[in-house]
Amino acid sequence: MDARDIIKRPVITERSTDLMAEKKYTFEVNVKANKTQVKDAVEQ
């Protein structure tokens, strides 16, 4: 599975914007992806 298939889009809400100040990011991801795949996709 390619990184573009795993991460669908960023979640932009007031709460997620506040988390960005703490370098925490929120994404909508494919339900079939596991934690390791999501981690690798974000690091790319």
Single pTM value for the model: 0.80
Where exactly are the structural domains of the chain?
A: 3-43
Q: How far is CA 11 from its chain centroid?
A: 8
CATH 3.40.50.10440 fits 3-43, yes or no: no
| pLDDT tens sequence across 1-44 | 899 999 999 999 999 999 999 999 999 999 999 999 999 999 99
Q: 20, 2, 1: which is closest to 12 by C-alpha? A: 20
